Amino acid sequence: MKSPINVVDELNGMLAEEVEAAVRYLYLKVTMESDNGDVITHLQEAFEETIEHAEWLAAMIRDLNGVPRLSVRVDCEQPPATPDDAVHDVLTIEEAALEGYRELLEFAERDGAEAKVLEFLRKQVELESEHVNEFRSLEKR
């Protein structure tokens, strides 16, 4: 029998994913093969927004009387990326984050989570959707 999902544990999982994503964005930015200003700018913005999301997650965890915890493992040893590769990698990360927030929102709605948690998760779904659309617009221009 599957154990019940704990919202704080799930938020800590999302916190780790946001930190891992930020590290990947930084790595892509500093190792990109060519100096494509548009992609570099978007990577920098994605890095900053992802750190901000991590901070919001930590604040929500504390607000729920939890303790923010990080368990991260990031392998950034792939060769330098082309701008197209970087956009593809970011899309993969952002789509996974969007799916994670959607799943957690669905669980939280079914579980009758506090209104502040539902509002927070809805906002994260909205923001991640914007990020996905932003990077889709950069694909193969």
pLDDT at 95 over 50: yes
pLDDT band of 116, cuts 50, 70, 90: very high
pLDDT band of 1, cuts 50, 70, 90: very low
pLDDT given at position 17: 94
Tally of structural domains, the chain: 1
Q: Average pLDDT for residues 119-129, to the nearest whole number?
A: 95
**94 is a domain residue:** yes
Those residues with Cβ within 8 angstroms of residue 19's Cβ, 6 or more apart along the chain or in another chain:
50, 54, 70, 72
**21 is a domain residue:** yes
Q: Pinpoint the alpha helices (H) of 32-137.
A: 37-63, 83-111, 115-136
Let me know: does 56 contact 120? Beta carbons within 8 Å: yes
**141 is a domain residue:** no
Alpha carbon 123 to its chain centroid, in Å, reads 13
**83 is a domain residue:** yes
**42 is a domain residue:** yes
Domain that holds residue 36: 7-136
Identify the CATH number of the domain in which residue 12 sits.
Answer: 1.20.1260.10
Q: In the chain, at which residue ranges do the beta strands (DSSP E only) sit?
A: none
d(CA 57, CA 11) in angstroms, rounded, equals 7
Take residue 101 and report the two structure tokens written for it.
């927030």
**116 is a domain residue:** yes
The mean predicted confidence, pLDDT, of the chain is 89
pLDDT given at position 3: 42
Which whole-number Å values give the CA distances from 59 to 1, 71, 91, in the listed order? 32, 17, 26
Q: Pinpoint the alpha helices (H) of 32-82.
A: 37-63
**1 is a domain residue:** no
Take residue 53 and report the two structure tokens written for it.
């999301």
| pLDDT tens per residue across span 35-93 | 667 889 999 999 999 999 999 999 999 999 999 999 888 888 777 788 888 899 999 99
- What length does the chain have? 141
**99 is a domain residue:** yes
What percent of the chain has pLDDT above 70? 94
